A = this chain, B = another copy of it.
Amino acid sequence: MASIPHQALNPPIRTLLGPGPSSIHPRVQMAMSAPLVGHLDPYFTSLMDDTVALLRYVFRTQNKLTFPVSGTGSAGMEAAFDNFLEPGDVAVIGVNGLFGERMVDNAQRTGATVIPVTAEWGKIIHPEDIEKALKSQKKVKLLSLVHVETSTGVLQPLLEASKLAKQYEALYLVDTVTSLAGHEVAVDDWGIDICYSGTQKCISCPPGLAPFTVNQKALDTLQKRAQKVKSWYLDLALLSAYWVTGRVYHHTAPVSMIYAIHEALAIIAEEGLEARVKRHLKNGAAFHAGIEAMGLKLHAEAGHRACSLTTVRIPQGVDEAKVRQGLLNEANIEIGAGLGPLRGQVWRIGLMGYASSEENVVLLLNELEKQLTRQGYRPEPGAGVAAALGVLRAA
Which residues of A are interface residues toward B (Cβ below 8 A)? 1, 3-4, 6-14, 16, 18, 20-21, 23-24, 29-44, 46-47, 50, 53-54, 57, 60, 70-75, 77-78, 82, 102, 105-106, 108-110, 198, 200, 206-208, 228-233, 249-257, 259-260, 262-263, 265-266, 269-270, 272-274, 328, 334, 336, 339
Hey, which chain B residues are within 8 Å of A82, CB to CB? 230-231
What would be 28 A-B contacts, judged by CB atoms less than 8 Å apart?
A1-B60, A3-B272, A4-B57, A7-B46, A9-B34, A11-B47, A12-B37, A12-B41, A13-B35, A14-B37, A16-B36, A16-B37, A21-B255, A29-B35, A29-B36, A30-B33, A33-B33, A37-B334, A39-B207, A70-B71, A70-B72, A72-B253, A102-B232, A110-B230, A207-B252, A208-B256, A208-B257, A256-B260
Beta-carbon contact of A12 and B38 below 8 Å: no
In the complex, are the beta carbons of A75 and B269 less than 8 A apart?
no
Give, as a whole number of angstroms, the nearest-CB distance from A237 to chain B: 12
Shortest distance between the CB of A343 and any CB in chain B (Å): 11
CB-CB under 8 A from A207, the residues of chain B are 39, 252-255
A320 to chain B, nearest CB (A): 15
* A78-B231, A82-B231 known, 19 other contacts, Cβ within 8 Å: A1-B272, A9-B31, A9-B259, A11-B35, A11-B44, A12-B37, A14-B36, A14-B38, A18-B38, A33-B33, A38-B334, A70-B71, A70-B72, A70-B208, A74-B232, A74-B252, A102-B232, A109-B231, A206-B254
Do A262 and B6 touch across chains, with their CB atoms under 8 A apart?
Answer: yes
Contact B273 A105, beta carbon cutoff 8 Å: no
User: Considering the chains assembled together, what is the distance between the CA atoms of A91 and B71 in angstroms?
Assistant: 27
Tell whether A230 pairs with B233 under 8 Å between CB atoms, given A43-B12, A53-B4, A75-B71: no
CA distance A314 to B33 in the complex (A): 35
What residue of chain B has the Cβ atom nearest to residue A24's Cβ? B36
Residues of B within 8 A of A108 (CB): 228
**Closest CB-CB distance, A50 to chain B, in whole Å?**
5
Report Cα–Cα, A229/B106, bound state, in Å: 10
User: Are A50 and B198 also in contact (CB < 8 A) when A41-B334, A70-B71 are?
Assistant: no
Residue of B nearest to A107 (CB): B232
A24 to B255, CA, bound (A): 12
Q: Is the CB of A200 within 8 A of B21?
A: no
Q: In the complex the two chains form, is A73's CB within 8 Å of B32's CB?
A: no
Q: Cα distance A233–B73 when bound, in Å?
A: 10
- Minimal beta-carbon separation of A113 from chain B (angstroms): 15
Q: Among B54, B249, B254, B334, which residue has its beta carbon within 8 angstroms of that of A4? A: B54
Closest chain-B Cβ to A272's Cβ sits at a distance in Å of 6
Contact of A47 among B7, B16, B78, B262 (CB under 8 A): B7
Report chain B residues within 8 Å CB of A72.
70, 251-254
- Provide the bound-state CA to CA distance between A12 and B251, in Å: 22
**Minimum CB distance partner of A22 in chain B:** B36
Asked whether A35 lies within 8 Å of B6 as measured between CB atoms, the reply is: no
Nearest-CB residue, chain B, relative to A7: B50
